[in-house]
Amino acid sequence: GKVRVPTHVVSSICDDRGEEPTYAGVSMSELMEREYGVGDVIALLWFKRHLPKYATKFIEMCVMLCADHGPCVSGAHNTIVTSRAGKDVVSSLVAGLLTIGPRFGGAIDDAARLFKAACDADDSPADFVEGLKRRGVRVSGIGHRIKSKDNRDKRVALLQEYARKFFPSTRYLDYAVAVEAYTLQKAPNLVLNVDGAIAAIFLDLLAASGAFSPAEAEQIVNIGYLNALFVVARSIGLVGHALDQRRLQQPLYRHPWEDVLYTS
């Protein structure tokens, strides 16, 4: 019989060997003919399936709303400094991307894990927050440096509004909002942030869209797909900042002495 030579690589999301490349079996022609968008491409290449229109639109909203948040945030600042050091677009981009993590933009997966476990276990928001506090763990998805109770994050409002209008269920979002109501009693900046909102709404998508089995939803949360949404989104803004510095011919950045407290 035939002997199959073992391959060195296994790949399950796309195929470029035929007349035209396919993403999860969908050809380039079909992508164009059906006027699919970036949300559909993410659905095919990350989740290997079609998602309903309201879900791909939500993914696109995440990408659009998280594309940039000004020059002062960690990522953009790193990109700007790197670009001003004369580095190329790729170096400036990755310098910014490297700041994405548990404090900045990369709290989505942990927020999803925490909200899912607590909501599925029917923990009250108070028990959830105080339990994490006892363990010395911050609530991922809660808190912001400049946004607060009286200066809400418009992105979070827009995402919530969309989910409440188009999603079959907002159980996890409702839970996250109840957590926010509790944390806001502690400090005005402990708002549900954009990472937390994306996490909670994505949990609702995984649970109620009918596109994922409970085991698949669990796997997606465990593997950690969701920070990647912020990575893709913010790359758009970071490239913008890198190019902007070059266009403006900005000189090498040096931080002012006055802004450093020298304690030696």
Q: Which of 114, 194, 198, 217 binds ligand ACO (CB under 6 A)?
A: 194
Could you write out the DSSP letters of every residue in the chain? ---PPPPS----SEE-SSSS-EETTEEHHHHHHTT--HHHHHHHHHHSS---HHHHHHHHHHHHHTS---TTSHHHHHHHHHHHTT--HHHHHHHHHTT-BTTTB--HHHHHHHHHHHHHTT--HHHHHHHHHHTT---TTB--SS-BTTB--HHHHHHHHHHHHH-S--HHHHHHHHHHHHHTTT-TT--B-HHHHHHHHHHHHHHHSSSS-HHHHHHHHHHT-THHHHHHHHHHHHHHHHHHHHHTTPPPP---GGGS----
- Compare residues 96 and 125 and give the one whose CB is closer to ligand LMR: 96
194 contributes a contact to ligand LMR by CB under 6 A: yes
Minimum CB separation from ligand ACO for residue 100, in Å?
A: 8
Residue number closest to ligand ACO, CB atom: 143
One character per residue 117-146, x = contact with ligand LMR (rule: CB under 6 A): ----------------------------xx
One character per residue 135-154, x = contact with ligand ACO (rule: CB under 6 A): ---xxxxxxxx---------
One character per residue 52-71, x = contact with ligand LMR (rule: CB under 6 A): -----------------x--
73 contributes a contact to ligand LMR by CB under 6 A: yes
- Compare residues 87 and 155 and give the one whose CB is closer to ligand LMR: 155
Q: Which of 40, 68, 180, 195 binds ligand ACO (CB under 6 A)?
A: 195
233 contributes a contact to ligand LMR by CB under 6 A: no
Applying CB under 6 A, the residues found at the interface with ligand ACO are 103-105, 107, 138-145, 187, 189-190, 193-196
